[in-house]
Amino acid sequence: MRSGIPEHGRTPKYYAVRPGSPGSSTTSVKAGCCRPSATSPSATRCLRERLGIAFGDADEKVETVLATPREALLTGTPPALPMLLIHRSSRDQDGRPLERVRSLYRGDRFSFTTRLRA
The sign of the dihedral angle between the CA atoms of 6, 7, 13, 14 is: positive
**What is the number of structural domains in the chain?**
1
What's the pTM value of the predicted model, to 2 decimals?
0.65
- Give the whole-angstrom CA distance, residue 100 versus residue 108: 25
- Please indicate, yes or no, if residue 116 is contained in any of the structural domains: no
Task: Tell me, yes or no, whether 1 lies in a domain.
Answer: no
Q: How many CA atoms does the CB half-sphere of 17 hold within 13 Å?
A: 11
Q: Would 65 be classed as within a structural domain?
A: yes
The enclosing domain of 101 has a CATH number of 3.40.1410.10
- Assess if residue 8 is contained within a domain: no
Q: What is the pLDDT of residues 36-92, one digit of tens each?
A: 554 445 666 777 787 788 889 999 999 999 988 988 888 888 888 889 999 988 888
Q: Is residue 96 part of a domain?
A: yes
Beta carbons of 81 and 73 less than 8 angstroms apart: no
Q: Which range of residues forms the domain containing residue 99?
A: 13-35+55-106
**Is 118 within a domain?**
no
- Residue 44 lies inside a defined structural domain of this protein: no
Averaged pLDDT for residues 109-117: 83
